[in-house]
Amino acid sequence: MKKKTLAMIQPYVWLLPSVILMVSMILIPIVSVFKISFSDVGRSGIVRGLNGVQNYLDIFAEPTFWHTLQNTVIWTVVVVGVSTVFGFVLAMVLNQEFKGRKFVRAVVIFPWATALIIQSVIWKYIINADYGSLNILLKKIGLIDGFVNWTKTAGSMFGWECWVGIFVTFPFVTFCVLSGLQSIDGSLYESASVDGASFWQKLFKITLPLVAPSLTVSTVLNIIYVFNSFPIVWTISKGAPADQTHTLVTYLYQLSFTDGKGGHAAAVSVIGFVILAFCASIYMILSLRGEEES
Amino acid sequence: MKKKIISVLLCTAMVGTMLAGCGSKDNGGGSEGGSEGGDSGKVALDVIISQYGNYTQDWWTEFEKTFEEANKDIDLNIEIVSWNDIYSVVNTRISSNEQPDILNISGFADYVADDLLMPAEEYVSDELKANFVQSFWESNDMDGTVWALPILASCRSLFCNVDLLKEAGIENPPATWDEVLAACKAVQDKFGKDIVPWGLDISTDEGQAAFSYYTWNFGGGYVDDDGNWALNSKENVEAVEYIKKLIDSGYCNSAPFTDTRYPLQDAFSAGTLAMMIGPMNMVAADSKVNYVAADLPGEKTALGVCDQLMVFKDEKADDARTAAITKFFDAFYECETYSNYMVYEGFLPATQDASDNLAANAEKYTVGGSDATGSSEYFKTFCAVLPNCKFYPMQKAEWMDVRNGVIDVEQQVCEGTVGAQEALDKLQESVAK
């Protein structure tokens, strides 16, 4: 009897540390952020009491919020989309046999392995109009006469931020896809070639279906990482000019730590959480459906 | 079986330890702000000081030692916090009801609004009160109560590279805004893209400083004569349009929306920027640039920046705490100690006796982290400017909204998305709500 009870309890005891960690580090902060988003918070951090949905109404009345939301969608779609396509193509190339393949593979991982903040600072200096190395290089090879201001408008500034996002994201896709490609049995391609299949037919009928699980994982993870990415936008522009280049994460950081509006920041945080939870749910539904079908 | 029992026990112990770690810290003899310090019977004072330089900690450690030796009944706990973290550190401590007794920071209106501060004048003797430079003392007055003490100050001047201007045919620093445009044009014509004529920072870092330089010296500003917000005045519109004109004419650094003053100061020190408005200690010590610090063009109104010391409320506090805090201020503002700290950190003093002392004897004191001594001439020049400086209206509760609002206005107008009048009207309307 004792043995049986111990055997029943044991798994739960093992799980308890993880559960406590998750509750204290994830669940309690989430509940706390939800509560703060419905509270009146003073600039000095004092919670003066609940104020219903006032923080949300204030946020929705701000044109900056809607522009930021639009930026966040563009940022996520462009960075994840382009990184996925570019990463996939590069993985196909790196899967071929050629001299120096190992070296190229090692080089490709650098942008991903380097800290985001370092990448962002480096790119900020590269594109600087007064002393940036891009201008110096282009001038030396004679492509430009005078220095060009690459970040003159909000659009161009945001475009460069997207580029940096792509630059640091594509290696992850490349290596996810590469691992998928290496697991494909070469005999499939040989059989297809014998049957007279073209490159595109092999790509769409063999390669893509077989690397789809790797692509799905990298895309879902990238959506979460890129959506929540803070260092690139904050280091390069801090949302300038005139809050035109914010994403939700930098916007809520500014609200909280620069503007001292903790309640509004919590509301934006909850909105971001809901959007990501929605995306994650779609992924869960699709993958569960896939499992059932298989 | 034994192994299993041991594993379960270990696991339980781990959970127990974690729970203990997550629990509240109630150490009985802890030094709650201003309370009796455990068994020793000392009054404990928690002090948070902003980090002004790499050696701030060293100076305050020495001060703490000297102070405690002279005041055996006081236990001073000084914590140095960097400017990057100080607001979040203080807010976190406030929200967990662990605010310090004394805080050194910039801005106090939000703490007053949340009823967290004690009037600073209650901790200052008449003698010390009379010793503060009047404009500094008054800058901390909110509705007739002085809530904070000025700890140090700096002021902003127009810095000009004399050699570059002379080469471009400009003999004297520009005294009017039209002369600024003329000087910028002369520099641009002479040096092309190699030299940036005018440094401008309208970034979120300190764009409000730029707003102050231009609006005050076009005759406008933040408030009218009655102290009410007057952000959309004719003069302010003119000033913001002038900033746009500087950018559109190609006279400024190419990224004024994101360039903070630090790279601009570096560029000035390196001799690649001809003119900029900046703090009095902005030129690097090893710079070879031949420069002059002149009055700001137009109305010649300088921006004074002044950080404060403030005292937080403590419901459990008694007279012993009040006496301890008063002793702390007396010790800190003592002429020799305070003069020493000003030279050490490279700022200007907020008291009259230290100003007089440093104008004559700055060489007695050393700069933090080096053997270099202070310069009496330097203090004489800049201390004389201080009484005429204007300050941000930090004592107004809406200041933070206005600060962020004027930066938005500058950026929107200079980007060309909206006109100056419309942007300032909108800001005025939102602040006056």
CATH number of the domain within which A201 lies: 1.10.3720.10
Unique residue bearing structure tokens 């279906």? A209
Does the distance separating the beta carbons of A257 and B87 come in below 8 Å?
yes
The reply to whether B236 falls in a domain is yes
Mean pLDDT of chain A: 91
Q: Torsion angle, CA of A263/A264/A265/A271, rounded to 10 degrees?
A: 110
**B143 plus B198 within the same structural domain:** no
Q: Confidence class of residue B31 from pLDDT cuts 50, 70 and 90? A: very low
Domain count, chain B: 2
Nearest to B204 among A43, A129, A258 (CB): A258
C-alpha–C-alpha distance, residues A145 and B286, integer Å = 33
Range of the domain at A97: 55-289
C-alpha–C-alpha distance, residues A71 and A41, integer Å = 27
Long-range contacts of A58-65 (CB under 8 A, 24+ apart): A58/A264, A58/A267, A59/A264, A59/A267, A59/A268, A59/A271, A64/A243, A64/A246, A64/A251, A65/A251, A65/A268
**B43 plus B137 within the same structural domain:** yes
- Dump pLDDT digits (tens) for A224-250: 999 999 999 999 999 989 899 999 999
Distance in Å, alpha carbon of A157 to nearest chain B alpha carbon:
10
Chain B residues contacting A via beta carbons under 8 Å:
1, 4-5, 8, 11-12, 14-15, 18-19, 22, 87-88, 90-92, 94-95, 110-111, 113-114, 116, 193, 196, 203-205, 253-255, 257-258, 267, 400-401, 404, 408, 411-412, 414-415, 417
**pLDDT value at position B4?**
57
- The count of other CB atoms within 10 Å of the CB of residue A159 is 15
Asked whether this complex has an ipTM greater than 0.85, the answer is no
C-alpha–C-alpha distance, residues B369 and B54, integer Å = 8
The reply to whether B184 falls in a domain is yes
**pLDDT value at position B63?**
97
Region A122-134: mean pLDDT is: 90
Region B76-100: mean pLDDT is: 90
**B48 plus B136 within the same structural domain:** yes
Domain count, chain A: 1
Region B275-296: mean pLDDT is: 90
Q: Residue B26 pLDDT more than 60? A: no
Distance in Å, alpha carbon of A177 to nearest chain B alpha carbon:
38
Nearest to A242 among B19, B254, B417 (CB): B417
Nearest to A6 among B4, B11, B193 (CB): B4
Q: Confidence class of residue A1 from pLDDT cuts 50, 70 and 90? A: low
Range of the domain at B325: 36-153+305-384
Q: Confidence class of residue B181 from pLDDT cuts 50, 70 and 90? A: very high
Specify the range with the lowest mean pLDDT, choosing from A116-130, A276-290, B263-277.
A276-290
Question: At B412, which helix (H) or strand (E)?
Answer: helix B399-415
Q: What's the CATH number where B293 sits?
A: 3.40.190.10
Q: Confidence class of residue B376 from pLDDT cuts 50, 70 and 90? A: very high
**B360 plus B427 within the same structural domain:** no
**B43 plus B144 within the same structural domain:** yes
The reply to whether A1 falls in a domain is no
Q: Which residue has the higher pLDDT, B83 or B14?
A: B83
The reply to whether B219 falls in a domain is yes
The reply to whether A48 falls in a domain is no
The reply to whether B65 falls in a domain is yes
C-alpha–C-alpha distance, residues A236 and A125, integer Å = 9
**pLDDT value at position A214?**
87
The reply to whether B245 falls in a domain is yes
The reply to whether B10 falls in a domain is no
Region B381-399: mean pLDDT is: 85
**pLDDT value at position A294?**
62
**B80 plus B175 within the same structural domain:** no
**pLDDT value at position A291?**
67
Q: How, if at all, do strands B273-279 and B148-161 pair?
A: antiparallel
**pLDDT value at position B6?**
54
**B351 plus B282 within the same structural domain:** no
- Dump pLDDT digits (tens) for A83-100: 999 999 999 999 998 898
Contacts with B411 from chain A: Cβ below 8 Å: 240-243
The reply to whether B358 falls in a domain is yes
**pLDDT value at position B17?**
44
Q: Residue B8 pLDDT more than 70? A: no
Q: Residue B1 pLDDT more than 70? A: no
Q: Residue A290 pLDDT more than 80? A: no
For residue B186 the two structure tokens come to 């002369």
**B272 plus B360 within the same structural domain:** no
C-alpha–C-alpha distance, residues A210 and A177, integer Å = 10
Does the distance separating the beta carbons of B267 and A241 come in below 8 Å?
no
Does the distance separating the beta carbons of A239 and B254 come in below 8 Å?
no
**pLDDT value at position B105?**
95
C-alpha–C-alpha distance, residues B298 and B278, integer Å = 16
For residue B284 the two structure tokens come to 């690097």
Q: Which residues pair with A247 in a beta bridge?
A: none
The reply to whether B14 falls in a domain is no
**pLDDT value at position B30?**
37
**B233 plus B352 within the same structural domain:** no
Distance in Å, alpha carbon of A106 to nearest chain B alpha carbon:
34
**B269 plus B359 within the same structural domain:** no
**B200 plus B89 within the same structural domain:** no
The reply to whether A176 falls in a domain is yes
Name which of A10, A46, A128 to mutate to probe chain B: the one with the most chain B Cβ atoms within 10 A of its Cβ.
A46
